[in-house]
Amino acid sequence: MAILSPKTHLFFFLVFISLCFPPISSLSTLAISRTSNHTLVCALISSSSFPRESSLNCTSFPQGIQIPLNPSVPFSGMVGGIGFLCGLTSSDPTVMVCWRFSNNGTDLTYKRIYVGPLLTNLDSGNSQICGIVNGTNRLQCWQWHEFSSSNRSLITSNLAVGQDFVCGLLRLGQIQCLGSFRDVIDAVPSGNYSEIAAGSQYACAISRNGSLACWGKMVGEKPIDRFKSLALGDTRSCALRINGTVVCWGENGFTLPSSLSDASFETLEAKQDIFCGIVTSNFSLFCWGNDIFNSNPAVFNGVEVVPGPCTTSCPCSRLPNYGRFCGQELMICQHCVPEFGENPPIVSGSGPSPPPLFPQPTPSQWTGSSDPWNTRNVAFLVVGCVGSFMILSVLVILFLKYCKIRGCRVHDSGRLDEAGTPPQQGSQTSQVQDQVGPQLPVLEKRLNQLISMGNGGHLQEFSLLVLLQVTNNFSEEHKIGTGSFGSVYHATLEDGREVAIKRAEASASSSYAGGSKYRQEDKDSAFLNELEFLSRLNHKNLVRLLGYCEDNNERVLVFEYRNNGTLHDHLHRLENSPLTSWTARIKVALNAARGVEYLHEYAVPTVIHRDIKSSNILLDTNGNAKVSDFGLSLLGPQDDETHLSLRAAGTVGYMDPEYYRLQQLTTKSDVYSFGVTMLELLSGYKAIHKNENGVPRNVVDFVVPYIVQDEIHRVLDRRVPPPTPFEIEAVSYVGYLAADCTTLEGRDRPTMTEIVNNLERAFLACLATPNFSRSNTDSSK
Ligand SMILES: *[C@@H]1O[C@H](CO)[C@@H](O)[C@H](O)[C@H]1NC(C)=O
Ligand SMILES: *[C@@H]1O[C@H](CO)[C@@H](O)[C@H](O)[C@H]1NC(C)=O
Ligand SMILES: *[C@@H]1O[C@H](CO)[C@@H](O)[C@H](O)[C@H]1NC(C)=O
Ligand SMILES: *[C@@H]1O[C@H](CO)[C@@H](O)[C@H](O)[C@H]1NC(C)=O
Ligand SMILES: *[C@@H]1O[C@H](CO)[C@@H](O)[C@H](O)[C@H]1NC(C)=O
Ligand SMILES: *[C@@H]1O[C@H](CO)[C@@H](O)[C@H](O)[C@H]1NC(C)=O
Ligand SMILES: *[C@@H]1O[C@H](CO)[C@@H](O)[C@H](O)[C@H]1NC(C)=O
Ligand SMILES: *[C@@H]1O[C@H](CO)[C@@H](O)[C@H](O)[C@H]1NC(C)=O
Ligand SMILES: CC(=O)N[C@H]1CO[C@H](CO)[C@@H](O)[C@@H]1O
């Protein structure tokens, strides 16, 4: 067996630790770019429109530099340096685009320097940019050859890039610096830190007790106080006190302009000699450092700048009322602040040893000493990780035990009736019922398997009584749609979850019951087999199956439900359609295509959706799309040959003519329906609609001829402003793609993977004007 060096051990332990705790995002929502004569200040401006995504806005001081930005491309962060600005899109995959400009801003070039997974951290010095890739925690730098990705950076947060060095914090708060600038690399202080920043030739960090440590070639005296954030330039520095006010120091007695000395800031940014900050009270942006700004520091006054990146978790507190900046389930973090009252303001040097000041992030409490490789720490971490896993396991076991005793599922009312036991009054309101009736062994076994699979907590059996109650006996006012297999009802469960309940047509179930050559147990087992399979489909662009209800005559599936409307509603029903840009529409198509691709390519066995249409694509408030209604074949008649259905399922207008003709169902049938949906997205016409003379018309017959003659502009949805120069190529590209999808012969249509790749390309093309988009995706030049 190979003997691993302590360093290797350490590496693996830290990899292990990073898997245990998700990375902390530190992107910046404002950036400063400099040229010798200009300062360009860029910020994410919050938008109130749907989808709720912020737009990047840049202002040049004095006027001159103009970055051509597509207003409908959402950005999540940005960095600036000398003669460049880079923005990180909030799309998936994440794209980083950079603009370079000459001194007077005229010589603008554009380059896409990164396409890939999310970057959790991004920072730039005057000329170098580094980021941390989500998932692997790999450090990636651009324009910096010695930092190959093979270098073992363990930095997980607070990336800080200076001139020829990069520093950051490790998981437990220790500092790591890499690079060739020895003044900084060789003087890294030990201890626990909550934030770090880099100037061009020095760095400062805020220790867990709020005091400041600086090393390298700093100009001026560091102030004595307690701080929560920093911004460092070339020879000037500013720091954010814990009460939100700013103090500055540096060359020639640099100080904060007195007009800002009382203002409370949320966050700061610096480049060379210019500093900017977002004011806490109204999120306006103020800058200082040269004559232009000092005389009028308000840059975006009265305009709300997004005060921080939207992220999934925070190490300390989160900003109140972040909802208007971020979509669902995202939040904006605040800088970590040492607790008040614990420590008197710092008397430098000695003092009582600091009490643990950070109640929230558990990892920090495990930091034992300044030696990051301390075995005790690692042991604690291992115990922590293993411990939480064990707690989880114990919970699962307890849950299973509980279920065994209490019975977490309800027998269908049919059998209860047969057993002559009337349903109890109280049982109607609860999915957990005490009654355990006579059991079908097969059913029991399969259910136990389902529950013990680990999906157990996810897939729930609902009692018919409960479903009847929440839908008021499947009443009309709960009905939200009728699909090929039955009706869909909207309801709110007792626990507050909103669900879509899909119930098979009585006719379907009777035809199902009619084919009585199988024993009931076999049919139940087949149903559960399929359910088990569906419950394992898990993709962010697929609506999640929550549970089911199975009864002699009832087959019901329960799905998650987000009441933000279907694509059909957004295109045809809502008065002022919120899908107001071509970029947003292409994004919806891309999202939906990814969901269908998952069904076709990654589900084993392959799932053919059979009923793709705009009303089966749900949108959330961020303009993300989820495909619903897959697996509804469960609710249809059961045939011996699943792929050779006699009753062609689907919706008129979307149905593959080849499937209709040959009764041969393949994944290419879904591709056809998806193509119709894309035509709908582009033209705004329903799949079947009436022309000017009131004659019904098919969107394929009407729109495709224009597309193939390169005249798509004549049939584009008028409710969306004409494509911007950024979007023109992308829109016609998507048009051709939709035309390909709707060709008559299935074998001539692209696969869903090809569609996803093409839509991705189209979406990326929306990021830049054609003139600038010729560069490739080379990533480390
Ligand atoms: C940027 O913001 C200014 C006001 O601060 C506004 O006039 C301008 O239209 C915005 N530009 C873009 C592209 O949104
Ligand atoms: C830049 O500023 C210098 C003086 O600082 C001036 O001589 C030069 O003309 C300026 N260039 C432009 C393009 O404004
Ligand atoms: C900007 O600078 C470039 C050279 O860097 C020069 O060719 C161009 O004429 C300048 N434009 C203006 C408007 O000053
Ligand atoms: C980041 O990586 C983690 C772990 O690999 C993953 O669970 C998460 O979904 C990723 N986040 C994004 C936004 O890609
Ligand atoms: C680091 O933090 C731990 C607990 O939070 C503390 O015991 C230890 O003294 C700290 N180390 C330094 C150098 O401050
Ligand atoms: C913030 O704290 C500093 C000293 O730490 C103090 O001088 C200043 O008055 C305080 N400002 C406010 C607004 O509390
Ligand atoms: C925002 O707050 C700052 C500082 O408190 C103030 O100077 C500025 O006038 C405010 N702006 C608006 C538009 O209220
Ligand atoms: C705060 O922490 C730093 C380093 O972690 C230490 O040098 C300093 O003495 C501490 N200050 C107080 C007041 O505990
Ligand atoms: C900054 C740093 O440590 N760079 C190193 C990265 O790795 C290569 C070899 O893989 C070294 O040559 C660099 O010095």
Please report the pLDDT score of residue 637 as a whole number.
41
- The verdict on 469 and 534 lying in the same domain is yes
Please report the pLDDT score of residue 23 as a whole number.
57
More confident residue, 147 or 559: 559
Ligand 1 centroid from CA 57, angstroms: 6
Ligand with an atom nearest the CA of residue 285? 7
Minimum mean pLDDT range among 279-288, 460-469, 583-592, 635-644: 635-644
Please report the pLDDT score of residue 550 as a whole number.
77
Task: Tell me what the mean pLDDT of segment 116-142 comes to.
Answer: 89
- In which domain, by residue range, is 480 found? 458-505+522-560
Tell whether 196 is covered by a domain: no
Residue with token string 């792929």: 643
More confident residue, 622 or 85: 85
Please report the pLDDT score of residue 240 as a whole number.
96
Please report the pLDDT score of residue 50 as a whole number.
54
Does the beta carbon of 362 lie inside 6 Å of ligand 5?
no
First to last CA, the chain: 40
Contact predicate 621/50, CB 8 Å: yes
Please report the pLDDT score of residue 363 as a whole number.
33
Return the top range by mean pLDDT from 355-364, 400-409, 448-457. Answer: 448-457
- The verdict on 731 and 586 lying in the same domain is yes
Among protein residues, the one whose CA lies closest to atom 7 of ligand 4: 135
User: What does the DSSP 8-state code read for residue 280?
Assistant: T
Q: 3-class DSSP state for residue 634?
A: helix
Distances in Å between the Cα of 78 and the Cα atoms of 25, 26, 28, 86, 341 are 13, 11, 6, 6, 36
Is residue 740 annotated as a catalytic residue, yes or no? no
- The verdict on 641 and 737 lying in the same domain is yes
| Cα 121 to Cα 99: distance, rounded to the nearest angstrom | 20
- The verdict on 735 and 699 lying in the same domain is yes
pLDDT band for position 224 (cuts 50, 70, 90): very high
> How many CA atoms does the CB half-sphere of 495 hold within 13 Å?
5
Ligand 9 centroid from CA 179, angstroms: 8
Does the beta carbon of 284 lie inside 6 Å of ligand 7?
yes
Whether the pLDDT of residue 22 is over 80: the answer is no
Amino acid at 659: Y
Contact predicate 489/471, CB 8 Å: yes
- The verdict on 597 and 732 lying in the same domain is yes
pLDDT digits (tens, 9 = 90+) for 163-187: 989 999 998 889 999 888 899 999 9
Tell whether 131 is covered by a domain: no
Please report the pLDDT score of residue 672 as a whole number.
96
More confident residue, 307 or 109: 307
Ligand with an atom nearest the CA of residue 241? 6
Task: Tell me what the mean pLDDT of segment 226-240 comes to.
Answer: 95
Please report the pLDDT score of residue 709 as a whole number.
85
Distances in Å between the Cα of 234 and the Cα atoms of 17, 219, 220 are 35, 9, 12
Tell whether 747 is covered by a domain: yes
Tell whether 214 is covered by a domain: no
pLDDT digits (tens, 9 = 90+) for 374-395: 333 334 444 444 444 444 444 4
Token pair recorded at residue 60: 């040049």
pLDDT band for position 52 (cuts 50, 70, 90): low
Does the beta carbon of 126 lie inside 6 Å of ligand 8?
no
Ligand 2 centroid from CA 565, angstroms: 55
pLDDT digits (tens, 9 = 90+) for 489-515: 889 888 888 888 888 765 433 333 333
- The verdict on 580 and 556 lying in the same domain is no
> Residue 494 maps to which CATH number?
3.30.200.20
**Ligand 9 surroundings by CB, under 6 angstroms:** 146-148, 150-151, 178-179
Q: How many helices (H) and strands (E) does the chain have?
A: 17, 35
Closest-CA residue to 378 (of 3, 14, 22): 14
Ligand 4 centroid from CA 138, angstroms: 13
User: Residue 22, Cβ neighbours under 10 Å: how many?
Assistant: 14
Tell whether 341 is covered by a domain: no
Query: Reading across the β-sheet that carries 202-207, which strands appear in turn?
Result: 193-198, 202-207, 212-216
Ligand 3 centroid from CA 58, angstroms: 20
Please report the pLDDT score of residue 525 as a whole number.
64
Task: Tell me what the mean pLDDT of segment 459-475 comes to.
Answer: 87
Task: Tell me what the mean pLDDT of segment 394-400 comes to.
Answer: 41
- The verdict on 550 and 595 lying in the same domain is no
Select from 531, 560, 589 the last residue of a domain: 560
Among protein residues, the one whose CA lies closest to atom 2 of ligand 5: 367
Task: Tell me what the mean pLDDT of segment 216-240 comes to.
Answer: 95
Does the beta carbon of 472 lie inside 6 Å of ligand 3?
no
Sign of CA dihedral 525, 527, 532, 533: positive
Please report the pLDDT score of residue 498 as a whole number.
86
Task: Tell me what the mean pLDDT of segment 217-234 comes to.
Answer: 94
Minimum mean pLDDT range among 78-82, 108-112, 339-343, 570-574: 339-343
Among protein residues, the one whose CA lies closest to atom 11 of ligand 9: 146
Nearest-atom index, ligand 8, CA of 209: 1
Does the beta carbon of 743 lie inside 6 Å of ligand 5?
no
Radius of gyration of the chain (CA): 30
Please report the pLDDT score of residue 339 as a whole number.
60
pLDDT digits (tens, 9 = 90+) for 711-729: 899 999 988 888 887 788 8
Identified catalytic residue from 164, 412, 524, 611 = 611
Minimum mean pLDDT range among 108-112, 155-159, 248-252: 108-112
- The verdict on 760 and 635 lying in the same domain is yes
Please report the pLDDT score of residue 677 as a whole number.
97
- The verdict on 462 and 609 lying in the same domain is no
Ligand with an atom nearest the CA of residue 358? 5
Ligand with an atom nearest the CA of residue 132? 4
Backbone angles phi, psi at 388, to 5 degrees: -65, -35
pLDDT digits (tens, 9 = 90+) for 404-424: 433 333 222 222 222 333 333
Please report the pLDDT score of residue 176 as a whole number.
92
Please report the pLDDT score of residue 589 as a whole number.
96
Domains: count for the chain: 2
Percent of the residues in the chain that have a pLDDT greater than 70, as a whole number: 71
**Pairing between β-strand 460-461 and β-strand 545-550 as defined by DSSP bridges:** parallel
- The verdict on 607 and 495 lying in the same domain is no
> Residue 671 maps to which CATH number?
1.10.510.10
Whether the pLDDT of residue 620 is over 70: the answer is yes
Please report the pLDDT score of residue 113 as a whole number.
84
Closest-CA residue to 418 (of 516, 556, 554, 552): 552
Contact predicate 487/506, CB 8 Å: no
Nearest-atom index, ligand 4, CA of 117: 14
Whether the pLDDT of residue 402 is over 90: the answer is no
Does the beta carbon of 351 lie inside 6 Å of ligand 5?
no
Whether the pLDDT of residue 586 is over 90: the answer is yes
Does the beta carbon of 396 lie inside 6 Å of ligand 7?
no
Please report the pLDDT score of residue 728 as a whole number.
86
> 0.75 cut: is pTM over it?
no
Does the beta carbon of 226 lie inside 6 Å of ligand 6?
no
Ligand 7 centroid from CA 336, angstroms: 24
Tell whether 551 is covered by a domain: yes
pLDDT digits (tens, 9 = 90+) for 244-260: 999 999 999 999 999 99
Long-range contacts of 716-721, Cβ-Cβ distance < 8 Å, separation of 24 or more:
716/682, 716/683, 716/684, 717/571, 717/681, 717/682, 717/683, 717/684, 718/684, 719/577, 719/580, 719/684, 720/577, 720/579, 720/580, 720/581, 720/582, 720/585, 720/684, 721/580, 721/581
Minimum mean pLDDT range among 314-323, 690-699, 743-752: 314-323
One-character DSSP codes across 726-757:
TTHHHHHHHHHHHHHHT-SSGGGSPPHHHHHH
240 class by beta-carbon count within 10 Å (0-12 exposed, 13-18 middle, 19+ buried): buried
| Cα 654 to Cα 676: distance, rounded to the nearest angstrom | 6
Percent of the residues in the chain that have a pLDDT greater than 90, as a whole number: 33
- The verdict on 693 and 644 lying in the same domain is yes
Tell whether 67 is covered by a domain: no
- Site to probe by mutation for ligand 1, drawn from 42, 56, 57 as the one with most ligand atoms within 8 Å of Cβ, is 57
Please report the pLDDT score of residue 737 as a whole number.
95
**Ligand 2 surroundings by CB, under 6 angstroms:** 36-37, 103-104
**Helix axes 520-536 and 441-452, enclosed angle (nearest 10):** 10
Strands (E), 84-188: 84-89, 94-100, 109-116, 119-124, 129-133, 138-142, 157-161, 165-169, 175-179
- The verdict on 545 and 673 lying in the same domain is no
Ligand 6 centroid from CA 243, angstroms: 6
pLDDT band for position 155 (cuts 50, 70, 90): confident
Three-class secondary structure assignment of 52-63: CCCEEEEEEECC
Nearest-atom index, ligand 2, CA of 36: 1
**Mean pLDDT (the chain, rounded):** 75
Tell whether 543 is covered by a domain: yes
For the annotated binding site for ATP, the residues are 502
Task: Tell me what the mean pLDDT of segment 536-553 comes to.
Answer: 82
Please report the pLDDT score of residue 148 as a whole number.
52
